[in-house]
């Protein structure tokens, strides 16, 4: 049976399941989206932006929605609580002609977001969710989608009410993070409830939450039967997770589960270096664009270093010397310092691998 999301977002059907990059505050800007797309992400999301902020002359809010001309399909991800504000904000987003859909956040568990009645606080008010989606639906032609959670807490499953509300309002897709608000980003993801939501749904369902490896992605597809899987933290400094998944599903081989702390395959050192260089180049272009377009006066190199430090350690995850580098991240204040630290870490890793191969060879000969 054809996946309706290919048509909804104009995605190419290459025979493998759909994998999306989640909206990640502080991370999923244009450079990270480009890296994810290059390695196989079918669809990506912007960082979470305030719908109300888009109505004000706020450079910061609009900069969160800045896209790259060479990006693939991107969804604008918005938060707020006022239907009329969302209607106008959605119209302004659509006018940019840069997005394939507009997504409503009803799942962010951060208190500073929930205190405004936004994010996961909306789960307690399915009628308001309905009204926000309906207001945007009347205001734009773009598909309106929703990202939510299972409910406020394990003793209060609310996703079925949310599903009914968004379907009645005309939403085109629901992304379900398989945790409750009280869990934040910790604890077990309930794949069974995601699967039950999928069985009840009339619209496509995307599975999200703790998709940290090929095995967890396979489990989400096979057990919940979702239309797509959304990957968040596991993609930070690891764009290869999308290509790994594509290779896995093309081979039609069930992946072996790994311990939660060791889920990444060992990467070629040159591939890591190339990815770091590419990401840095994309980030530089992106920040210069923000400076020119929004008049941001911050020093480009300083902004680049600050923005990239949060990605750097993830790229070097589990490599020899990465632990030491993590403790020194706050001291990296120039691009030269970052490049030196990367070279040092990758050199240590290469030496460590060579020593290991030497030991193995010796064992075989003996």
Q: State the CB neighbour count (10 A cutoff) for residue 298.
A: 12
Neighbour-count burial of 262, counting CB atoms closer than 10 A to its CB (0-12 exposed, 13-18 middle, 19+ buried): exposed
* Helix count and strand count (H, E) for the chain: 14, 8
Q: What angle do CA 187, 40, 171 make, to 5 degrees?
A: 65
Residue 150 and residue 112 in contact, taking contact as beta carbons nearer than 8 Å: no
For 139, residues 6+ apart whose C-beta sits below 8 A from its C-beta are 86, 87, 88, 90, 91, 94
Is 108 one of the catalytic residues?
Answer: yes
Residue 247 and residue 217 in contact, taking contact as beta carbons nearer than 8 Å: no
Question: What is the torsional sign of CA 53, 57, 58, 62?
Answer: positive
Alpha-helix residue ranges (DSSP H) falling in the chain = 4-9, 30-38, 59-63, 83-95, 111-114, 126-139, 159-169, 191-200, 214-224, 240-251, 269-294, 300-315, 322-328, 335-365
Strand partners, 229: 19, 207
For 140, residues 6+ apart whose C-beta sits below 8 A from its C-beta are 90, 91, 93, 94, 102
| Stated length of the chain | 366
Q: State the catalytic residues.
A: 108
């Amino acid at each position: 049976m054809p996946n309706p999301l290919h048509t909804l977002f104009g995605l190419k059907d290459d025979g493998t399941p759909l994998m999306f990059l989640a909206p990640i505050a502080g991370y999923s800007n244009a450079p990270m989206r480009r890296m994810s797309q290059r390695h196989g992400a079918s669809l990506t999301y912007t960082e979470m932006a305030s719908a109300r902020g888009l109505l004000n002359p706020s450079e910061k809010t609009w900069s969160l929605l800045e896209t790259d001309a060479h990006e693939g399909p991107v969804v604008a991800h918005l938060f707020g609580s006022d239907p009329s504000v969302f209607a106008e904000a959605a119209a302004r987003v659509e006018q940019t002609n840069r997005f394939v859909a507009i997504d409503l956040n009803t799942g962010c568990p951060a208190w500073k977001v929930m205190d405004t009645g936004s994010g996961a606080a909306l789960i307690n008010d399915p009628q308001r969710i309905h009204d926000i989606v309906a207001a945007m639906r009347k205001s734009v032609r773009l598909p309106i989608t929703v990202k939510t959670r299972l409910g406020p807490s394990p003793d209060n499953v609310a996703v079925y009410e949310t599903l009914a509300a968004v379907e009645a309002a005309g939403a085109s897709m629901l992304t379900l993070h398989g945790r409750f608000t009280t869990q934040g980003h910790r604890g077990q993801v309930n794949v069974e409830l995601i699967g039950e939501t999928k069985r009840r749904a009339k619209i496509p369902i995307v599975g999200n939450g703790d998709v940290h490896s090929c095995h967890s992605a396979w489990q989400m597809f096979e057990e919940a039967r979702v239309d797509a899987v959304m990957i968040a933290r596991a993609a930070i400094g690891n764009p290869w997770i999308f290509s790994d998944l594509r290779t896995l599903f093309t081979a039609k081989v069930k992946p072996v589960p790994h311990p939660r702390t060791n889920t990444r395959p060992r990467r070629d050192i040159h591939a890591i270096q190339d990815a770091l260089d590419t990401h840095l180049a994309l980030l530089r272009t992106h920040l210069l664009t923000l400076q020119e377009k929004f008049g941001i006066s911050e020093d480009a190199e300083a902004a680049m270093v600050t923005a990239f430090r949060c990605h750097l350690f993830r790229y070097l995850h589990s490599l020899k010397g990465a632990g030491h580098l993590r403790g020194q991240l706050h001291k990296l204040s120039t691009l030269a310092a970052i490049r030196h630290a990367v070279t040092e870490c990758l050199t240590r890793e290469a030496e460590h691998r060579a020593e290991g191969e030497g030991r193995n060879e010796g064992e075989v000969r003996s």
